[in-house]
Chain A
């Protein structure tokens, strides 16, 4: 048996219904199969914290968490995410899990125009959940797919480094 319906081919501009959990809320959208996840998040769901930069996986501005892992929202079509759990910068902000990272980015001026910041934060969040005390080298390596055209990265690395140290100090106490 096969689930493939040949009439699909005659109707290439159809929309399909996609359901997923975005920032903890169940969401259903009608999307064209060619619509990327970043476009769906920004246009249909009005979650504009996820930025569309290069749209080819080079700049990292569109990173979101898909089932708990950082991925480029420009490198997948919304239909591929059907049934998945997606957390955007808005969700991570609301839940407070990156509050210390955000405060440290702010304190150290680790952004100027801010376009790259959501992607930087999603990536830094993933790094720190995987490696509790990354070296500066490891931080730089983790950020190698995130472009920042303003800061020269130094303050961003400083901020992530400071949060890693603060977390492991307070983590030692609990």
Chain B
């Protein structure tokens, strides 16, 4: 299965939300990384057929996804960034309703709902009204509905928002398990969500796709620009104003700063292994600080 984006552009008035994105996506997890307003959600919406590109084309195995219509949507599982619920529906009723809108038969839906509620740790909440669930639980219902039809293309926009660390790990593992024979597109600005499971990371900035590569390759690309330096308390502000400073670890000998810089920031600075947070900081420093 191959999802192809050919020069996809989406404009809203004068603003280019997505600007000439071209890429190919095959089975595996793809992490879309970008600051707020970078175009991730707009691109996700086009891939989910919620909106159409202003220009360019999205195809699945050579066929335009908008021409494919319901046969494409039949393959799709989607979790929007902001999902609403019918609050007076119970969890089970909501999932049955969505299953029927996905064209599933009652028997198949029943089995799948039981299985998925177990996977997202909501079995005990089956008969509870959605309005009474916490934000994290509602998000888990959202994840379950996206997986109901065993989708071949799963698009999840900020899926871990509101989940506690344990549930985030559970969700990551779930995605990792199912991604072998399907395309999973995951948009986030929480780098740890994709660090270990993404086959490739797509970095978006100002509507453009600026990088697409494996996490390893992307991190290798900035290997010479990540430094660790020990400073005292009084020097921290000066480093922060001159460099992109990531983590700061306070210890007995002062503060250890993680710095992203093309040049060596201090005589005693040492290179340190790169992680995805460094990568994020490298590309989105201004946005992160905003």
Are both chains from one complex?
no
Q: Which residues of B contact A (CB under 8 A)?
A: none
